């Protein structure tokens, strides 16, 4: 892992650099040698702040912690980063199960169909409602989207939460 340590409007002591490198060595078991880690140290109103950003294979892990000392902030940031990494690893393991793609003998070499996926089937009654009511239902159950029958048109529609916090509505074309 390539570690870059710099201070924002301050000079980072060698003892802190050694501590950062020692703490980040434990992440070598998760990442390859091409991984880049950036550590920023700064002081704001007497509070010590450490920000760690790790870029690996298109995924960015980032944690920022503040404390009375840089070492305490570093310990908390490393713990937070490790939590993120383990959570992401678990999510990926659940997403890609072993034997998720099955190749059979009769497939030809140029085209390989996707195999079986583990799909959870859920059914519920579609009650006619307005998009506003559907958004309320979606927020109540804590999902990112909600399918419903539109009260006015009778069409099956989907409301979803957008990244910036607004909502979207998907309707069939006529």
Supply the DSSP symbol for 134.
H
DSSP helix/strand/coil, 36: strand
Residue 84 DSSP SS3 = helix
Is position 109 within any domain?
A: no
Mean pLDDT value across the chain: 82
Residue 146 located in a structural domain: yes
Q: Do both 87 and 9 map to the same domain?
A: yes
* Confidence (pLDDT) at 100: 52
pLDDT tens digits, one per residue of 73-116:
999 999 998 888 888 777 766 655 544 554 444 444 444 445 56
| Domain carrying residue 145 | 128-170
Whether residues 6 and 91 share a domain: the answer is: yes
Counting Cα atoms < 13 Å in the Cβ hemisphere of 140 gives 6
């Amino acid at each position: 892992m390539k570690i870059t340590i710099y201070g924002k409007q301050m000079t980072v002591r060698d003892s802190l650099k050694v501590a950062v490198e020692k703490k980040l060595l434990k992440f070598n078991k998760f990442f390859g040698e091409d991984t880049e880690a950036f550590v920023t140290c700064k002081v704001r109103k007497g509070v010590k702040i450490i920000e760690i950003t790790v870029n690996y294979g298109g995924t960015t892990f980032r944690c920022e912690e503040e404390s009375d000392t840089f070492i305490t902030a570093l310990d908390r940031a490393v713990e937070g980063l490790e939590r993120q990494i383990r959570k992401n690893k678990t999510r990926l393991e659940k997403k890609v199960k072993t034997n998720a793609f099955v190749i059979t003998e009769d497939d030809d070499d140029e085209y390989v169909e996707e195999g079986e996926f583990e799909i959870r089937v859920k059914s519920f009654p579609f009650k006619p409602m307005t998009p506003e009511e559907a958004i309320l239902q979606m927020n109540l159950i804590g999902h990112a989207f909600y399918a419903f029958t539109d009260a006015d048109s009778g069409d099956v529609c989907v409301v979803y939460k957008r990244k910036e916090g607004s909502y979207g509505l998907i309707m069939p074309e006529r």
